[in-house]
Amino acid sequence: MSGLSRYIVDAVVLERRSPTALAREDGITRRWIHKLVKRFKEGGYSALEPRSRRPHSCSHQISSDVQAKVLRLRQELAAAGHDASPETIAHHLIGQVNKVPSAATVWRILKRNGLITPQPHKRPKSSFIRFEAKLPNETWQLDSTPWQLADASPVETLNFLDDKSRLAVACKTFVTVKAADPVHVFHSASNEFGFPASLLGDNAAVFTAGRIVVVGFTAGRLQAVAANHLLIKNYSVLGLHWGLYRQRAPQLVPECTGKLLELYAEGKIRPHIGRQAPLEDAVTLFRAAASRQTTGKAVLTL
């Protein structure tokens, strides 16, 4: 019960105020005032509670007889081991009722009586999260596409696509893409375009069971790893605090550096050199690196 309803009733019944003056002062109709007073006299203050505005009848409402037949057909068909879907029930109602309800109406009758558990066939739009990289080299997408040559030979094309610019940074064809192929193609593309901040692929076997090692954030942005990706893509994430190694295990630093140089000499790794400068321009090069104007490695030449 609203406070206004009780105020109106008390003003008319207890204070003997004029309904006309009360309607003029409070900006309400005399008809509504008389209606509230009538309700109060019939049932007291409890009768002033808001009432349902649902219509007393509905011309197109399914009759209780038809609803009973729907429920009976559902039970009979299910007991006999037949299909008891709304479409089947609607078909069996032909000849039994004057106007056969639609399958959707039969479904609502069954649901209202607890005989159907809703199973939506479409994902709600709110479940879709649109992703798009804000900068080039922030995210690369990779996928393999099966194809057939003119002689009917099957091949697979491995593609790496920059998510922002839509540039195909790599596209190579194999008879069958094996686990090592994406790694080799990725390094080949990164030597030309630099390493991306993140990599996105589907759940194919050749793309899973990998490992991400977090060493730093040279792009200036903290990259987040979705926990659901760790599960469905079967990869792990490791953190590497390089500065802490220099403090607590300094003997590992030259050993690791030596192995990296060996890999470089053997051509197994090719770091991206974004800028080179002579030794006399060392200050300019350091300033460029500090202001994030360089990509990859900045090298001083002697």
How do residues 220-235 score in pLDDT, each as one tens digit? Answer: 566 677 777 677 666 7
DSSP letter (8 states) at residue 168: E
What the block records as the tokens of 211 is 């490992």
Q: Residue 139 CA to chain centroid, in angstroms?
A: 18
Place of tokens 């790893």: 225
Of the listed ranges 34-43, 76-85, 195-204, the one predicted with least confidence: 195-204
Stronger pLDDT, 168 or 268, i.e. the higher one: 168
Segment 53-66 shows an average pLDDT of: 81
Please give the helix or strand (H or E) that residue 300 lies within, else none: strand 297-301
Mean pLDDT of 197-207: 70
Give the pLDDT mean for 247-273: 85
pLDDT of residue 264: 84
At 118-141, the pLDDT tens digits run 666 666 666 666 667 888 888 899
- What is the per-residue pLDDT for 233? 62
**What's the pLDDT at 213?**
77
pLDDT of residue 24: 87
3-state SS, residue 276: strand
Phi, psi of 23 (to 5 degrees): -65, -40
Q: What band does 32 get if pLDDT is binned at 50, 70 and 90?
A: confident
* Helix H or strand E segment including 179: none
**Which residues face 154 on adjacent strands?**
148
Helix (H) or strand (E) holding 270: none
At 195 the pLDDT is 85
Rounded Cα distance between 171 and 189, Å, is 9
What pLDDT was estimated at residue 267? 79
| Token pair belonging to 295 | 């990509």
pLDDT tops 70 at residue 93: yes
Q: What is the pLDDT of residue 218?
A: 59
Q: What is the pLDDT at residue 118?
A: 66
Q: Of 1.10.3720.10, 3.50.50.60, 3.30.420.10, 3.30.70.270, which CATH number belongs to 139-240?
A: 3.30.420.10
